[in-house]
């Protein structure tokens, strides 16, 4: 009997992170029958990603409303995903991450007594309101899941501490690294993209994104003022800021930054263009989860525009720094990296701690073994392990022991 799988996605990062899982499932047609459910929590931002990955949803639930509330969105996802489950009758529903689509779809599947596989499970900031509502969404999905695909050893630890049994956890690496690796070998051009008119004048490019609910209002305003300070203080930089479609983000960013010299506000970029910008930029300022995971692949230092992160590995490895949203911190930390070549170099060295490009195949293999009632879900030596971080040049004199501790996330 084939294993029937529903893969649910609803937002841009879910499409990017599930694309290769869906392809890997479809590459094993004798074992899996796969339906893609698009809740439509995002419309434009997700549809462009699906087009790029050539994924045609089998169910399009069209739940998005302008400036939707979390409760109304959750209600619509519960209703419509239940219907898709009843029609397709899957053996397992796969959800990804911490969005309302992920949590509400897990709940809808659970109410239909269908086992849930949770991809990107176990990340924790340990603060229920930061990120909001993602910390709760992800924890709630953990309660409902039958299999937990933890991207890193730290995520596995978090789940074990919460009482999840070890045999239900598979450490996979993050699937975003699979997508990124597959994509970064493809040719790209900025012609006919929102980046076409950015002058090629040797300015260093600072890439900025920000959309988190907990930053709306004052924090977002401080960030915008800091960006204005930065272009004034550094005549050799240009800030490129693809602005998220959420109207709460747009109103602040557009009103404070529009028509500022060397600050380029753009529409959301399609994924290949965004990745090409990530490769070409000098450094990244972001509150995005996915971008924190992607930037180390290209050796780009990340200043995390948040007080807390549920993805601390890059900071533990010295490739990211959590700086918050105050105007001073953003100006000072960014200026430091713009001015100090050694500090910059320290942050741009090392392997990406989030994945090795083989996460999707691990997930699909574990689901196949689960369906065949095999144990373990995936042999320990096939699961994802972090490579130790090389000693940064600047700290060569530090003891090897200290560097190893840092690499293991204990420092």
Q: Which of 12, 38, 139, 244 is the catalytic position?
A: 244
The token pair that represents 3 in the structure block: 């294993």
Residue found under tokens 């509150």: 287
Based on the residue annotation, tell me whether 120 is a catalytic residue of this protein: yes
Whether a cis peptide bond, with omega within 30° of 0, leads into 120 is no
Based on the residue annotation, tell me whether 244 is a catalytic residue of this protein: yes
* Residue of 308, 310, 273, 266 lying closest to 290 (CA atoms): 310
Q: How does DSSP assign 250-290, residue by residue?
A: HHHHHHHHTT-TTEEEEPPPPHHHHHHHHHH-SEEEE--HH
Question: Would you say 73 or 93 has its CB closer to ligand UD1?
Answer: 73
The token pair that represents 203 in the structure block: 């300015």
Distance CA 378, CA 360 (A): 13
As measured in angstroms, the least distance from the Cβ of 335 to ligand UDP is 24
Which position among 5, 8, 13, 107 is part of the footprint of ligand UD1 (CB under 6 A)? 13
Contact residues for 59 (Cβ-Cβ < 8 A; gap 6+): 35, 36, 37, 38, 84, 87, 88
Whether a cis peptide bond, with omega within 30° of 0, leads into 323 is no
Q: Please report whether residue 96 would count as binding ligand UD1 according to CB under 6 A.
A: no
269 binds, among ligand UD1, ligand UDP, none (CB under 5 to 8 A by kind): ligand UDP
DSSP H helical ranges for 53-130: 70-88, 100-111
Question: Would you say 98 or 365 has its CB closer to ligand UD1?
Answer: 98
User: Which of the ranges 11-19, 24-32, 227-235, 399-407 carries the binding residues for ligand UD1, by CB under 6 A?
Assistant: 11-19
As measured in angstroms, the least distance from the Cβ of 15 to ligand UDP is 9
* Residue of 387, 193, 185 lying closest to 273 (CA atoms): 193
Which position among 164, 177, 239, 269 is part of the footprint of ligand UDP (CB under 6 A)? 269
**How many residues in the shown chain lie near ligand UDP by CB under 6 A?**
16
User: Which of the ranges 16-24, 98-106, 221-229, 355-363 carries the binding residues for ligand UD1, by CB under 6 A?
Assistant: 98-106
Q: Please report whether residue 241 would count as binding ligand UDP according to CB under 6 A.
A: no
As measured in angstroms, the least distance from the Cβ of 133 to ligand UD1 is 5
Based on the residue annotation, tell me whether 157 is a catalytic residue of this protein: no
- Number of Cβ atoms within 10 Å of the Cβ of 264: 18
Distance CA 244, CA 258 (A): 15
CB 220 within 8 A of CB 252: yes
Question: Which three-class secondary structure state does DSSP give residue 364?
Answer: helix
Q: Please report whether residue 133 would count as binding ligand UD1 according to CB under 6 A.
A: yes
Question: Would you say 90 or 353 has its CB closer to ligand UDP?
Answer: 353
Q: Please report whether residue 326 would count as binding ligand UD1 according to CB under 6 A.
A: no
User: Which of the ranges 257-265, 288-296, 323-331, 362-370 carries the binding residues for ligand UDP, by CB under 6 A?
Assistant: 288-296
23 binds, among ligand UD1, ligand UDP, none (CB under 5 to 8 A by kind): none
Contact residues for 209 (Cβ-Cβ < 8 A; gap 6+): 241, 242, 244, 285, 286, 287, 288, 291
105 binds, among ligand UDP, ligand UD1, none (CB under 5 to 8 A by kind): none
Q: Which residue is nearest to ligand UD1 (CB)?
A: 99
| 323-to-218, 291, 327 alpha-carbon distances in Å | 16, 15, 10
Question: Would you say 11 or 383 has its CB closer to ligand UD1?
Answer: 11
Q: Known catalytic residues?
A: 98, 120, 134, 211, 213, 244
Where on the chain is the footprint of ligand UD1 (CB under 6 A)? 11-13, 41-45, 64-68, 70, 73, 98-100, 133-134, 211, 245-247
Contacting residues toward ligand UDP, per CB under 6 A: 12-13, 16, 176, 209, 211, 242, 268-269, 271, 274, 288-291, 294
């Amino acid at each position: 009997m084939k294993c029937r799988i529903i893969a649910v996605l609803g937002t841009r990062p879910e499409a990017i992170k599930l694309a290769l899982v869906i392809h890997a499932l479809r590459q094993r047609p004798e074992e899996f029958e796969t339906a893609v459910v698009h809740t439509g929590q995002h419309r434009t931002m997700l549809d462009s990603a699906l087009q790029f990955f050539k994924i045609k949803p089998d169910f399009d639930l069209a739940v998005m409303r302008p400036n939707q509330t979390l409760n109304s969105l959750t209600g619509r996802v519960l209703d419509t995903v239940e219907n898709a489950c009843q029609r397709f009758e899957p053996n397992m529903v796969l959800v990804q991450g911490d969005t309302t689509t992920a949590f509400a779809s897990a709940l809808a599947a659970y109410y239909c007594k269908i086992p849930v596989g949770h991809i990107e499970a176990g990340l924790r900031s340990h603060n229920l309101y930061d990120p909001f509502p993602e910390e709760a969404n992800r924890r709630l999905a953990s309660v409902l899941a039958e299999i937990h695909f933890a991207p890193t050893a730290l995520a596995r630890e978090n789940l074990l501490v919460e009482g999840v049994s070890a045999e239900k956890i598979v450490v996979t690496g993050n699937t975003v690294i699979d997508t990124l690796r597959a994509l970064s070998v493809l040719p790209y051009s900025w012609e006919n993209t929102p980046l076409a008119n950015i002058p090629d004048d040797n300015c260093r490019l600072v890439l900025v994104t920000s959309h988190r609910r907990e930053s709306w209002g004052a924090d977002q305003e401080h960030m915008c003022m800091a960006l204005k300070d930065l272009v004034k203080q550094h005549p050799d930089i240009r800030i490129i800021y693809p602005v998220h479609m959420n109207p709460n983000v747009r109103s602040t960013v557009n009103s404070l930054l529009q028509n500022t010299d060397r600050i380029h506000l753009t529409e959301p970029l399609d994924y290949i263009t965004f990745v090409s910008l990530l490769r070409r930029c000098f450094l990244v300022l972001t509150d995005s989860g996915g971008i924190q995971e992607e930037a180390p692949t290209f050796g780009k230092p990340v200043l995390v525009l948040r007080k807390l992160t549920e993805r601390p590995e890059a900071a533990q490895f010295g490739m990211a720094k959590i700086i918050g949203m105050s105007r001073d911190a953003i100006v000072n930390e960014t200026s430091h990296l713009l001015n100090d070549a050694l500090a910059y170099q320290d942050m741009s060295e090392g392997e990406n701690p989030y994945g090795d490009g083989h996460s999707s195949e691990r997930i699909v293999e574990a689901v196949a073994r689960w369906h065949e009632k095999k144990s373990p879900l995936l042999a320990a030596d096939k699961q994802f392990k972090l490579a130790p971080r090389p000693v940064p040049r600047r700290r060569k004199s530090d003891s090897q022991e200290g560097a190893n501790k840092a690499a293991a996330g204990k420092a």
